[in-house]
Amino acid sequence: MTEPPEDPPLRVSTLELFFDLVFVFTITQLTGVLARNDVTGAGALRVLLIFGVLWWMYGGYAWLTNTRTPSQTPERLLLLLGMAGFLVIGLAIPKAFEQRGEGLALGLGYLLVIVVHGVLYQRVNRNILRVVPINVAAAVLVILAGLAGGVAAYPLWAVALAGPVVSPLIVQPEGRFAIQPSHFVERHGALIIVVLGESVADIGIGAAGHPLTVNLVASALLGLALTASLWWAYFGVADDERAEDAFIRADPAVRPALALNAYWYAYIPMLLGIVALAAGIKLAMLRPGSGLPWPPSLALGGGVALFLAGDVAFRRALRIGRQPYRAAGAVACLAAWVAGLASSAAEIALLTVVVAGTLLLERRMGRPDTVDL
């Protein structure tokens, strides 16, 4: 059984937001990996593998601080140490598969993240000791992948990722971990905001060093409009508020399963979608008004499609509404990549219209669970 928290969190603390900023640095680095050389299959695979293991441990820290606010000095110092581990990981990401030193640094940083998490969590809920061996094994595999380097690193990373993916099936979380609904929902909503904000920052990164032409300004504004439409898809229709209501109504024993399905599995395509979108926008800013090669064009359309597909899975997991319009919107966004071959600006504009049109259609069809835009 879970151990009652001494200081159950009601709101997300500033230290947690600080932690999220460091974690999102790793997301930004993954965007750079994907955007390198106009998006490649190898880059996409590396992003998927690295993101998978990092996302598992971010979730572990979110569950940790959801159990008890890090208010004591030793806890805060340990949390800062965990942040240092994520920072080292972020610094090592760009060359982790190419240089053994960076790969080893990433693995050691990941091991530090895991050790700090285990030490902190066992202070409030010793059930975490069931998960720690799986996490440590994943870290060892990442370290071995860093030492191996090259093609040999990929299967080691894949096995490292398999552990976190299947561990919820091995270590049943029901009845062992408690979820505080308001804090949990707010924490993950704040993460989406920060990651979306980083995608806007990539507009500026992509535009850096280029003359401020009409085409550049137009592309930047279109990129902002597309990112805003994704914000609206999640927050503008109060999905976060309805998610909290769903958690509150659920039996406490089943909340951990809801948290895994909605805020871990469903968030994977949402966050990877933002990474792909940011990479596509970053490359589009390098050639405003021109067409894109097919890989970055697909990253743009596919990124938005992934986000909407993840949102569909999120809503389905929490049963907070039907999803046919958003599913159809995801398919339309995936098909829109063809427009980017002629003009990146045209593709971004088309994607914005599709997302906005999907939300407006939901409203006009009079769905009772949709808030007016």
Tell me the per-residue pLDDT of 325-364, one tens digit each, with 9 for 90 and over: 999 999 999 999 999 999 999 999 999 999 999 999 888 8
Q: What pLDDT, in 10s, does the model give residues 124-168?
A: 888 888 889 999 999 999 999 999 988 999 999 999 999 887 777
Domain span at residue 233 reads 181-364
Query: Within a domain: residue 6?
Result: no
At 189-218, the pLDDT tens digits run 999 999 999 888 888 887 777 788 888 898
* SS3 state at 98: coil
pTM assigned to the model: 0.91
Domain co-membership, 160 together with 190: no
Question: Mean pLDDT across the stretch 59-86?
Answer: 93
What is the count of structural domains for the chain? 2
Of 115, 143, 170, the residue that ends a domain is 170
Q: What is the pLDDT of residues 11-68, one digit of tens each?
A: 899 999 999 999 999 999 999 999 988 899 999 999 999 999 999 999 999 999 998 8
Select the more confidently predicted residue: 9 or 109.
109
Asked whether residue 320 is assigned to any structural domain, the reply reads yes
Q: At what angle do helices 73-92 and 100-122 cross, to 10 degrees?
A: 160
pLDDT in the model for residue 4: 46
Whether residue 232 sits in one domain with residue 109: no
Cα–Cα distance list, 351 to 233, 277, 300 (Å): 13, 11, 9
Does residue 367 contact residue 234 with C-beta atoms inside 8 Å?
no
Report the percent of the chain where pLDDT is more than 70: 93
Q: Interhelix angle for 214-231 vs 344-364, to 10°?
A: 30
CA 57, chain centre distance (Å): 12
Indicate the DSSP class of residue 210: S
